[in-house]
Amino acid sequence: MMRACKNYLTFLWRCTRIAFVGDWRYYAWLGLLSLFCLVGLNAYAKQIVHGLVVTGMSDQVSWGVYIANFTFLVGVAAAAVMLVIPVYIYGNEELHDLVIFGELLAVAAIIMCLAFVMVDLGRPDRFWHLIPGIGQFNFPGSMLSWDVIVLNGYLLMNVHICGYLLYCRYDGRRPAKWFYIPFVFLAIVWAVSIHTVTAFLYVGLGGRPFWNSAIVGPRFLASAFTAGPALIILAMQVVRWITADSPGGGVAPPPSGTPAPEAGARRPATLEDLELLASHLPQFASVPAEIRQSILMDAVVLDVAPGDALLRQGEAGNEVFFVLEGRVVVKREEKGRFRITRSVGPGEQFGETSALTKTPRAATAIAEEPACLLRLPADSLSKLMQIPQMNKIITWRMTERLMITDRALMILRSIVQVSMLINVFLLVNEIFKEFYSPTAHVASSQYLYFGLHGYHALVPWIWVAIAFNLVAMFLLVLPLSRSLKYLNVACVLAIVGIWIEKGMGLVVPGFIPTPLGEIVEYSPSLNETLVCLGIWAFGILCYTVLLRMAIPILQGTLSKATEGHGDFYHRSTETPTLGIPDVKTAHSR
């Protein structure tokens, strides 16, 4: 128990420390975000002193961009977790690593949501009145109290799932299913609920016909499942781009002129080598003596120096490697750039995918320290795989990989595609209902789309949003967007379009005209805008830091095995070249 606690604290401590470590680009980025945060904080301090007059809100339009951003971000948070469905329900391996990034995005989005609600309060000092048990909680009467519960519950759930999975990865053990799978499924249902509850916040107001319509809920969901995964598509490419050419584990990149894979000292393996493996890989102990004997026949032990390439992406090959000592880094080339997909330590294997599936090597493996490896041919691996314990550990390790493949992005694209179609379809429904039989309640829609009695502040915005959404929709359904360039354009358009449509386009027209028919327009003030920018910067800062912690853990460079290893590296001194020039030629050959 004590040891587990200590281990966990070390984990937290190392995660915290690594958040402060990076190259100059990382510091510059953090600095920039912090600057925006401080500007936002300054604007908020002014708002605290003078009250909400410093915003553009009034008694007539009593909610503005704060609540608009809140609404949009609830959607992002809800949708991020929707990636979980393909992975856990349909067992789609391509999205496996994206799940953690998606959930971390959800965490950052909820933090922003809570901040937006907080700055919207006239009396933030009385925040505790909202805490169930201590204050007065109007549950289940008020939808806002539902929102407090579902948002905080969702935050906790995601923190738990991500935290637990990352900790297990750090610790090098297999996550206990009962400890997180129930929460994963709960989170899926919950994700729908945070959205529905937020929609009901508006739908429940009978005095506001613009909101009081059953279609608002479904539209919320559709637009959320468009904007959320679209945001993840972009975020994942950023992650991919950042993790590209990052050298791993405190070791300088290998010198150029790497020797051929056959280089390094080799000798036949002995039973002692297998014992050594078993000491790092307890599951190996279950391998009976006769199988050990039989796999010894073709087993080879390699002693390699840092920088030696052991296998190369694109090559044929059917051997599997187990690390006995030292570390090996596995990199994958995508569009001329290398990304570390993981760092492999003693007791772990690489190359098993090709060995099992007879496909070409998916990545290149290079020793990052002097290393000692056990190499087995494919049929020896098959023998090992017949032992249940070995099978389990090897398959599990096969799936736990930081691979953001283009295929994974394409799966996300199809989610965005379908949601966007539904989103536009629901929009058409709503427009038809409002304008074909224009009841007295059409005034808000009239104001939004065409302007009312000479007031038309929102008209250009909403048409831009609609245009963006339509262009995005066409791009998404056309095969064109299978190319990432067009997909990215479509995602940006969809996100901006939905931000306008669902943020400002939903919140503000609900107040115009007022229930007594008065028209007072709203536009955010400078101070209000700065507060919003501050919160966005803070959210992005949170996400950056979370990624900074998660990526090395997923790559295997930050793990229990590397404890006290000098696990921090400054990238500033390193050149971005990888120094394995022959890989590309080998690949193109």
Partner 1 sequence: MSDIHKPCACSPDKGVSRRSFLRTSTVLASGVAALAASLAPLRELTDYTSIEQFMQKYYKEMTPQEMEKVLERITREVEQHYKIRPHVKDYKPMDGVEFVYCLNLTRCIGCRKCVHACVAENNQSQNPEIQYIRVLKLPHGSLDMEKGDHNYAPSSVPEKGFFYMPVQCQQCKNPPCVKVCPVKATWQESDGITVVDYDWCIGCRYCEAACPYFARRFNFTKPSIPKERLNPNMSYLGNRPRKQGVMEKCHFCIQRTRAGKYPACLEVCPTGARKFGNILDPESEVSYILRTKRVFIQLKEELGTSPRFFYYFDV
Q: Which residues bind partner 1 (CB under 8 A)?
A: 17, 20-21, 34, 38-39, 41-42, 45-46, 48-53, 55, 57-60, 62-63, 117, 120-127, 129-130, 135-138, 141-145, 148, 201, 204-208, 440, 443, 510-511, 513-518, 566, 568
Cis peptide before 513 (omega within 30 of 0): yes
* Residue type, position 385, single letter: M
Helices 65-80 and 177-203, packing angle to 10 deg: 150
Of 53 and 428, the one with the shorter C-beta distance to partner 1 is 53
| Cβ 7 to partner 1 shortest distance, Å | 19
| Cβ 154 to partner 1 shortest distance, Å | 17
Backbone angles phi, psi at 197, to 5 degrees: -60, -40
Question: Residue 130 has what DSSP assignment?
Answer: G
| Cβ 577 to partner 1 shortest distance, Å | 24
Of 117 and 390, the one with the shorter C-beta distance to partner 1 is 117
Residue ranges of E strands in 229-380 = 265-268, 300-304, 309-311, 319-325, 328-334, 337-344, 349-350, 364-367, 371-377
| Cβ 427 to partner 1 shortest distance, Å | 23
3-state secondary structure of 302: strand
| Cβ 130 to partner 1 shortest distance, Å | 6
DSSP H helices, 499-525, are 505-507
Of 42 and 152, the one with the shorter C-beta distance to partner 1 is 42
Of 145 and 237, the one with the shorter C-beta distance to partner 1 is 145
Of 145 and 283, the one with the shorter C-beta distance to partner 1 is 145
Backbone angles phi, psi at 375, to 5 degrees: -110, 130
Cis peptide before 346 (omega within 30 of 0): no
User: Tokens representing 186?
Assistant: 């709960």
Of 118 and 496, the one with the shorter C-beta distance to partner 1 is 118
Backbone angles phi, psi at 323, to 5 degrees: -85, 125
Of 208 and 331, the one with the shorter C-beta distance to partner 1 is 208
Of 415 and 508, the one with the shorter C-beta distance to partner 1 is 508
Question: Residue 457 has what DSSP assignment?
Answer: T
Residue with tokens 């007594």: 516
| Cβ 145 to partner 1 shortest distance, Å | 5
Which pairing describes strands 265-268 and 364-367: parallel, antiparallel, or unpaired? unpaired
The residue among 317, 187, 368 whose CA lies nearest residue 586 is: 317
| Cβ 209 to partner 1 shortest distance, Å | 10
| Cβ 42 to partner 1 shortest distance, Å | 4
Distances, alpha carbon 315 to alpha carbons 59, 64, 361, 508, 582, in Å:
69, 58, 5, 59, 13
3-state secondary structure of 330: strand
| Cβ 309 to partner 1 shortest distance, Å | 28
DSSP H helices, 63-142, are 65-80, 84, 96-120
Question: Residues 425-456, buried b or exposed e (16+ Cβ, 10 A)?
Answer: ebbeeeeeebeeeeeeebbbbbbbbeebeeeb
3-state secondary structure of 161: helix
| Cβ 103 to partner 1 shortest distance, Å | 27
| Cβ 585 to partner 1 shortest distance, Å | 37
3-state secondary structure of 589: coil
